[in-house]
Structure 1
Amino acid sequence: MSIFWTIIFLISRVYFIFMTLLFHILNRFKRKQTVPSTNDKLLRISATEAVRLIASRKLTSKELVEAYIYRIEQVNDLINAVVVTLFDDAIDKAENIDQLIADYDDQKLIEMVKRRPLLGVPFTVKDALNVNGRIITCGIFSQRNVKCTSTAEVIEKLFF
C-alpha cells in the first residue's frame, strides 16, 4: 500500500509544480493593476478618531460615508470587495445619525457614544454574516439571491 501512496504523492507534486509554473508564465505577461492611492484624509483616520470628530460635531457622518462610498466606487472594479452596495441606505442612516447628534445636548451625546461606540462610522459586513433582509452568499454562487431573516448577534451588539 505504501507504493501506491508514494506514486500518488509524486503525481501530485509534479502536477502542482507544473501548475505553478504554468500560472507563473501566464501571469508574467498579464498587465499588472494596482489600486490608486488616496489623498483623502478622512480615509486615513481611525474609527476612534472618526467617532471623536463626529461626536464633537467637527465632522458629519454623511461626509465620512460619502468619502468611503467614493473610494469604494474608485477601487471596487479592481479588488471586487463589495458584493452588494447599499450606498443610499448608508447615506440615509448617516443623515439620521447627524440629525440625532444635532438634536442631542453634550451630556446625552456622551451617553450615546458610550452605548454605541462606533456611532456614525461606516462599516461593511462580509456576506457571510446575517443582516436581516440582506443577501448572504457565504461565497456560494447558488445562494446569490438568498436573503436573511435575522441579524447576527455580533452585528446587533455593535451597531443596532
Structure 2
Amino acid sequence: MSRSYFAYEKPSAALVIFTFVTIVQGMLIAIMGLAIGSSIHFPLPIVGFLITGFGMVLIVCQYASTFRRNVYCMWLATAQLLFCCLPCGLMLLIGGCVAAIPLAVSLTTAALNAMWGMSLVEQHSLVPDDHTSEQISLIEIFCAVLIAALILGPASMFYR
C-alpha cells in the first residue's frame, strides 16, 4: 500500500519579508517597554513590562504562524497587529508622520496573515493529524537567543 505525501504550501515572499519586519517591530516595542519599566520617573513600572511582554508575544506568534503553521498564533499575532494600528492611527491623526511606518507594517502584515490563515485552515483540513511542524531546530534556538540579546543589549543602557 503506497502512502501519499502532502506538499504544504509555502508562505509567500511578501509574508516572509513582513514577518521579519514585524519581528523587528516587536523588538522595538519590547525595548520601549523595558525603557518605560526601568524609568524611575514613570509611576507604574509594571506597564513597561506589560509592553515588553506584548512585544515578545508578537515576535513569537508571528514567527510561529509563518514558519510553524500555527493557526492560533497567527490569529493572536493578527489581533496584536490590529491593536498596534490603533495608537499608530491616532498618532498619525494628531500629526506624528513617523507613525505611518508601523501603521503600514501592521496593516499589511495583518492582511497577509489573514490570507495565510485561510490557507492554513484549508491545509489543516486536508491533513488533520500532521505533526511535522512541532520540532524545534537548533538554528531556531540560536535565533531566539540572538533576538533576546538584540532586545536586552540596547535596553541595558536605560538601566545605567
Q: Same fold (TM over 0.5)?
A: no
Q: Which one has the bigger helix percentage?
A: 2
Larger Rg: 1
- Please, what TM-score do these two structures have when normalized by structure 1? 0.31
